[in-house]
Structure 1
């Protein structure tokens, strides 16, 4: 076979490359052997070192630890070096990474490390290609004396280590310089034992007694490190008290206060709580207020020991006035320089909840008062309007007294409307709910609303074409809308546009708004929007309170919105307010939609049309504790031909019914009476007379005894005040039901 020139050339190149590979392998073997020899030699060199030493890879994995390191830290062969130093440093990674970066630049690095266990020097040197040697030199005095802080470098904090019996075991140079020597016991250092960590104590120094903050840290069983931070160690420009640096970062707001009220110092938490960046030159009264008397008097009493560590609830000042702070004072300092340490606690949320609870109690109390007044007033109105009806029966339109009687009757009705507002606020008014379309209601109300707003205010209505129906008392709902429109008119100062918008709203999930939880479902929303001056944010949560008004004195009673709130809530709806100063206010009413009309039962408070005819027969037992009401009702029923038996209390009625010969067709009874109430005595009477019909009358709403009424058959409700015709028609309807049955 003949070899071509090309093939011959390739063979030569291959031989050359083979020789080069063999040469590189031999050199690598020699290098690796040399590095291995260097590593073994280094191990021999550090094996007998008194200080801890380690050989690691370039990544910091321990390949060898000398006996001193193993004795001190344990066997960490194959572990990262950070695991070793984690026993003496809280975060060793930054230190090791910093030193390894310096090794990469210069081949070696050295750094002094001061911990509470002592002063150490860590050095590292790179050798071979991927190896490092680490040395840990202990520079502490008595390095082998066991745990506890020993000598620290010059400029470190004064510190000493003491045993369980109070004997001083070691101390560093700054503390020896401060004390002017090396005492043997704590009694020689402090004059006010026992020590309380974080508190100020009196220290006996070479120059006399000084105040210092003491921090005590347990380092082993029976031994502890005690740091002493005297006034001289505090930087002068800050002009803060002894050892304040030690508590600057504490998670507890603290103030140092002079007895006359000047704020001497504050830590970071206190400044954040009080929303200030610096307290230099400020007084406590510049930051807090609300004690009801001068704060200087309280501080003076506390400095004299008469405060008794009693906490006070104070309120922030200026823009911070919505913040509430609990302040507890403690006496501190030397007898010649007494000052106060104030511990602050943010109680804003607690005070907010307390204010809400108090407001809830106040609203409940006012509601009960309004309901009680309305109930009693309804009895009076029933007697007034009832006797007026009796007089009208004896006077025709041509009589000279007829006009006066009509005036009395009309004003009695107006008074009844006013009482209805009180009951609306207390949510105890008698509602007559019906299914209504808000578009029709607002259309009927537009003429009256336009007269209310005046000529310079434009009223615009916007309706959803497919607006759902709601179930509410039409008359009360009109009252709510009029109140909101009048408020909007006053807010715009006589000119502008008021928008009334209706729309459907579907909630697929519950909505939380203004502490109200709205369940999912279909709702109808009514919005009354104005472009007036708006309501300030601090006043907005109070607008539904009774007698609270943002208008000037004499321009409003403060009952309009509280009445609207009561009506809406009793209807089962929600009312919310949104406002921005200078831009306007929007009130939103949410009512559950009622799109499926249901055949309504005969309304209890709406008797059938007046029946005509002659005298009526039947026996009525009238039970009413109010004599004027009882007198009017009995006369009215007798005029219609009924036989009326009267009783002023439930007990008298039951006593009367013990006569088995007595026949009674209808019980007419008040609900709320002294002693036994109406539903209770009626249930007892019906056990022997189950077919007897019942008419309940009351100045309260029917809801006040709805549960009792549901358990009483053949009963209806008649709200006070009622007229002569209404009473007789209701009784007559019950009589007819009895006959038909």
Structure 2
């Protein structure tokens, strides 16, 4: 599973580079169209189709990164029962008249620290799977409760330490999961659905999200653990201590919006080994009125900065590059140019290089794939800081 996760993460990282280039150049083309006057133009419609499908592909890549535990999470303190209640309308819409949805929440439920959007997506995936296990209708129950472990919980080769947790269960009274495949259901691309009915990434996304959030996921199915029939998925998250605070990451603007005006004359150095991504980012920032220098490697960027006449107000660097990685070469550059602002970009999660980033002052992170508007806004904010 670890090896498959590393493979999935590597594939997703490469796809994020491709999607950044595809959606970015699509944004550049959309700048030439007025959405009010050109919405009936065939070229505009084709561009919007490319944009829409690039977003769908990005969502699929996020599922791969979720399994490999390298997706970018916007962590915040949430009340799980409130989040479940808010997403309940959507879940009932997905179920229609096929199944009944019941919600049962513990009183005074502790908060947890997770990505709200990813928790909602995980619940949708679990409920849709439960619905598909109810061909003749039935009942699905989502329950939450506080859980305190006085002794470690040992189960399915996992060890849950002592402490306070919040438990979320999604149970159904359907057909259950055959014992022969029970240990395979979290594997990416494994599915029992017919071709075209599923990607096989739903449960692997749930698994990756829970693990990346510091939690645990278990499944019960079969007469030994579920004599009443059906299946039950249990998600266990560490409860948040009252004094814990987590800064939230501001949401990125949606792709396709016009870029914000930028200060002209600002000098930006972009270090990115993927030529299409570098070309898109450079063109976007030049259109915003900035002077852009380009380097296809860390070594090339350092060589550019050897010239004392080269002025750089902001460095934008990919994290994963051949030779020196982004954080390593930026640290070298800042020795001679302290105070230079830095934006690191990557298709992996920010947490993947937190140790390196902590050594770079005045640094922010922009996850791939990013839109033209997201890039320009991030640069504007950084230059204005």
TM over 0.5: yes
Asked whether the 8 Å contact 1:604–1:716 carries over to 2, the reply is: no
Instruction: Give the match for residue 720 of structure 1.
Output: 368
What is the aligned partner in structure 2 of residue 594 from structure 1?
240
Check if 1:405 corresponds to 2:47.
Answer: yes
Residue aligning to 2:270: 622
Distance 2:108 2:139 in 1: 25
Equivalent in the alignment of 1:419: 61
For the pair 1:391 / 2:29, whether they are aligned, the reply is yes
**Tell me, what secondary structure is at the counterpart of 1:539?**
helix
- Residues 1:665 and 1:602: Cα distance change in structure 2 (over 3 Å): farther
Task: State yes or no: 1:567 paired with 2:215.
Answer: no
Aligned partners of 1:672, 1:412: CA distance in 2, in Å? 22
CA distance in 2, matches of 1:406, 1:426: 30
Specify whether residues 557 and 621 from structure 1 end up closer, same or farther in structure 2 by C-alpha distance, changes over 3 A only: closer
Residue 525 of structure 1 corresponds to 167
Residue 537 of structure 1 and its aligned partner are, at CA, apart by 3.5
The answer (yes or no) to whether the contact 1:605–1:717 under 8 Å persists in 2 is no
Asked if 1:460 is matched to 2:102, the reply is: yes
- How far does residue 430 in structure 1 lie from its aligned partner after superposition? 1.1
Q: Which runs of 5+ in 1 are unaligned?
A: 1-362
Q: Which residue of 2 aligns with 1:647?
A: 295
Cα offsets for 1:47-106 (capped at 9, x unmatched): xxxxxxxxxxxxxxxxxxxxxxxxxxxxxxxxxxxxxxxxxxxxxxxxxxxxxxxxxxxx
Number of aligned positions between the proteins: 374
Partner of 1:487: 129
Of 328, 342, 362 in structure 2, the residue corresponding to residue 694 of structure 1 is 342
Contact residue 77 and residue 246 of structure 2 kept, 8 A: no
- Match for residue 369 of structure 1? 7
Deviation, structure 1 residue 371? 1.2
Considering Cα pairs closer than 8 Å and 6+ residues apart, tell me whether 1 or 2 has the greater RCO.
2
Question: In the alignment, is the contact (CA less than 8 A) between 1:528 and 1:588 conserved in 2?
Answer: yes
* Structure 2 counterpart of 1:672, from 295, 298, 320: 320
Check the 8 A contact 1:458/1:498 in 2, yes or no: yes
Shift in alpha-carbon separation, 1:717–1:378, aligned structure 2, 3 A? same
> Separation in 2 of the partners of 1:726 and 1:532?
44
1:36-185 mapped onto 2 (5 Å cutoff): none
In structure 2, distance between residues paired with 1:623 and 1:597: 40
Task: Note the C-alpha offset of 1:557.
Answer: 4.1
Query: Given the superposition, is the C-alpha separation of residues 604 and 711 from structure 1 closer, same or farther in structure 2, using an over 3 Å criterion?
Result: farther
Mapped to 2, the partners of 1:605 and 1:444 lie a distance apart of 19
CA distance in 1, matches of 2:165, 2:262: 50
8 A Cα contact 1:435 1:597, kept in partner: no
1:230 maps to none
Residues 268 and 312 in structure 2, CA contact (< 8 A), matched pair in contact too: yes
Distance 1:721 1:557, change over 3 A: closer
Work out the CA distance in 2 between the residues paired with 1:706 and 1:372.
19
Q: Deviations over 1:501-555 (max 9, x none)?
A: 1111111222212221111111111111111122244432332223334556765
Pair 1:604–1:498, CA change in 2 (3 A): closer
1:378/1:664 CA distance change after superposition, 3 Å: same
1:456-515 per-position Cα deviation (integer Å, ceiling 9, x unaligned): 310011111211111111111111111111121122214011111111111122221222
- Cα 1:487–1:611 change in 2 (3 A) is closer
Unaligned runs of 5+ in 2: none
Among 219, 224, 239, the alignment partner of 1:577 is: 219
| Separation in structure 2 between the aligned mates of residue 706 and residue 472 of structure 1, nearest angstrom | 18
Query: C-alpha distance in 2, partners of 1:431/1:602?
Result: 10
Tell me which of 506, 512, 524 is aligned to 2:148. 506
What TM-score comes out, normalization by structure 2 length? Answer: 0.91
Cα deviation, residue 630, structure 1: 0.8
Once the two structures are superposed, residues 271-295 of structure 1 have per-residue CA deviations (whole angstroms, 9 ceiling, x without a partner) of xxxxxxxxxxxxxxxxxxxxxxxxx
Asked if the contact 2:316/2:344 (under 8 Å) is kept, the reply is yes
Aligned mates of 2:162, 2:56 — CA distance in 1: 40
Residue 379 (structure 1) aligns with = 17
Alpha-carbon offset, residue 434 of structure 1: 1.4
Change (3 A) 1:682 1:571: same
Cα distance in 1 for partners of 2:86, 2:200 equals 27
Q: 1:534 to 1:447 in 2, by over 3 A?
A: same
Cα deviation per residue 1:666-715 (whole Å; 9 max; x = unaligned)? 10011111122111111110111111111001111112212111111111
Task: Please give the root-mean-square deviation of Cα atoms over the aligned residues, in Å.
Answer: 2.2
Shift of residue 597, structure 1, vs aligned partner:
6.1
Q: Distance in 2 between matches of 1:376 and 1:555?
A: 26
- Aligned with 1:687: secondary structure? helix
User: What secondary structure is seen at the aligned counterpart in 2 of 1:488?
Assistant: helix
TM-score, normalising length: structure 1: 0.48
Q: Could you tell me how far apart the structure 2 residues matched to 1:502 and 1:571 are?
A: 17
Supply the distance in 2 between the matched residues of 1:566 and 1:512 (Cα, whole angstroms).
20
